[in-house]
Amino acid sequence: MTSERTRFYRDKVNGKFLGVCAGIADYTGVDALWIRLGFLIMAFSMGWPFFAYFAVAMLSSAKPAALYSDNQEQRFWQGVRQSPTRTARQVRAQMRDLDRRLAEVEAYYVTNNPRLSAEIERLR
């Protein structure tokens, strides 16, 4: 999983300060409000998260402008980052469904067209 869509990026467009919390929200698929609230609670109770925030801000790169083409693609890649096996299972299920539907279309046209049926059998 070395795709640029599976890496962590700071999201300065949706971010409030340096975009770290918005980047974490984009990476995990959790709403940025909850990430920010969790960060503030941790920061004021422990203190060290401020240093971690600035370290992550300096070490991570900014999110490319055209990383996702639409919201559906963004949700897909968030799912890949959260659970690659579940996403692969979902894609396989969609491909099986598509294959089943294409087989139904083929069976419909082949049974109604004997010349097409003979041609398909000749090609096999």
Q: Convert the pLDDT of each residue in 38-73 to its tens digit.
A: 999 998 998 888 888 889 888 888 877 777 777 787
The answer to whether the pTM exceeds 0.85 is no
Specify burial of residue 76 (Cβ count, 10 A radius: 0-12, 13-18, 19+): middle
* Residue ranges covered by each domain of the chain: 1-82, 83-124
The confidence score (pLDDT) of residue 77 equals 78
Q: How high does pLDDT run on average in the chain?
A: 82
> Measured between alpha carbons, how far is 85 from 104 in angstroms, rounded to an integer?
29
